[in-house]
Amino acid sequence: MMAFVEKKLPADAPAAAKALNWVDSRFPLTKLWNDQWGKYYAPKNFNFWYIFGSLAMLVLVIQIVTGIFLVMHYKPDANLAFASVEYIMRDVPWGWLVRYMHSTGASAFFIVVYLHMTRGLLYGSYRKPRELIWLFGVGIFLVLMAEAFMGYLLPWGQMSYWGAQVIVNLFGAIPFIGPDLSLWIRGDYVVSDATLNRFFSFHVIAVPLVLLGLVAAHLIALHEVGSNNPDGIEIKENLGPDGHPVDGIPSHPYYSVHDIFGVTVFLLIFSAVVFFAPEMGGYFLEYNNFLPADPLKTPLHIAPVWYFTPFYSILRATTTQFMYALEIAVVAYVVLIMLRTKLASAIKGAIAVVALVALVGMFIFDPKFWGVVLMGVSVMILAALPWLDHSQVKSIRYRPSWHKYVYMVFGIAFLVLGYLGVLPPTPGRTLVAQICTFIYFGFFLLMPWWSAMGQFKPVPKRVTFHPH
């Protein structure tokens, strides 16, 4: 058993140093700071894309703090919830500011996370040895979606109520267990006080705990293997005499200053939205949500908040006509796997059986069920990215030039899906959404082939860095 040892300091040492020494001898505070940030060596060629991880942490703190103050006055009761939100907005000192910070923070969170994921796509941050970091990140994204969905019901406005009604009813499309699953989620046969209470419990307690755990795991895994960089070079493979990476610099103070600047710019934009456009034209806060929930009056157009709409568009695009094209696509994809891969015969056989079962299911179950499946798969497929990308290099900088256009087409398709999701469906919009859905899934499912094609550029031995 190791004996307790406390570092001896001079008698005239500052009080702060003595206090820190007292804590360090009982808890590794300084060690944690140095390991996770203070003496954590990061690549010296970070660009602005690397600010969004820190911004995500900032927004998480904003959401937790503002959420705590909102809970002090919010009533999780179907008869009182809407009135309590109005009370917060009108009568609680600075309540309107806290509420708008929280509602704007929800959208800001997804904007920052989407940009953070975009950086990961561009620079191959999901590639070996960072697969687990990426999986934790996908887990954070899924939990964040659940947190936002449950929080969306709490104001008990018209769009909150009917949006929850539509989304929960989607689970009813699952064969055999769907109706019971929907009933279990709602806690009643319709969205009611029971639904509001359980969503409140999950939004305030359960889901944030899972989210914080995943964030901690994400950061620990990141600092274990080291950060990626725009060149996709592993800086730990080139160490100096001091044992630190030659192309690395301590995160503090270099990236502390970098992050403070980014945080300042972000807070300026965030404050401008909170004070001058908190509804953001109905995208951040829908106008129907300023009306109390009415189970007897359905809004003309029900749509989720903007950050869910790309996946909601995929759901709506799954029509009977779309299923015919999907069946052809499944057959063509299986043929491609059989002819153009070197997988073991057993694996090819398993893929063929799964495809056959899916094809049979497409004739048995209605398009609504397959829409729910595709909506779920469109999110879950992100987790397979480390194993779908067969590129010789990580960063887009050293990939063939035409790869940039593949990413660009994918990004445009995703944005179009998001835009179409907030609009009422028409035959023309549905057709565009169906095309974009095929582009979305094609980007991932065809990645094993297109990511390995073309003339790759040589990757330098050292990171490219231009001081300024």
Residues in binding site for a ubiquinone: 223
Cα–Cα nearest to 153, from 91, 104, 201, 87: 201
In order, the DSSP letters of 211-271 are: HHHHHHHHHHHHHHH----TT---GGGSB-TTSSBTTEEEIIIIIHHHHHHHHHHHHHHHH
Tokens of 116: 């953070």
Cα–Cα distance measured from residue 287 to residue 209, given in angstroms and rounded to the nearest whole number: 31
Q: How far is CA 200 from the centre of its chain?
A: 21
CA angle, 154 as apex, 149 and 159 as ends, to 5°?
Answer: 70
Question: In 336-364, which positions are buried (b, 16+ CB within 10 angstroms) versus exposed (e)?
Answer: ebeeeeeeeeeeeeebeeebeeeeeebee
Distances 223 to 132, 213, 240 between C-alpha atoms, Å: 12, 16, 19
In the annotated binding site, the residues are 102, 116, 203, 218, 223
Cα–Cα distance measured from residue 167 to residue 231, given in angstroms and rounded to the nearest whole number: 41
Which secondary structure element, helix H or strand E, spans residue 43, and what is its range?
Answer: strand 41-43
3-class secondary structure, 103: helix
CA angle, 329 as apex, 328 and 332 as ends, to 5°?
Answer: 85
Q: In sequence order, what are the beta bridge partners of 43?
A: 248
Axis crossing angle, helix 402-421 with helix 309-317, rounded to the nearest 10: 80
3-class secondary structure, 194: helix
Tokens of 208: 């944030």
Q: How far is CA 222 from the centre of its chain?
A: 17
Q: How many CB atoms lie within 10 A of CB 46?
A: 20
In the annotated binding site for heme b, the residues are 102, 116, 203, 218
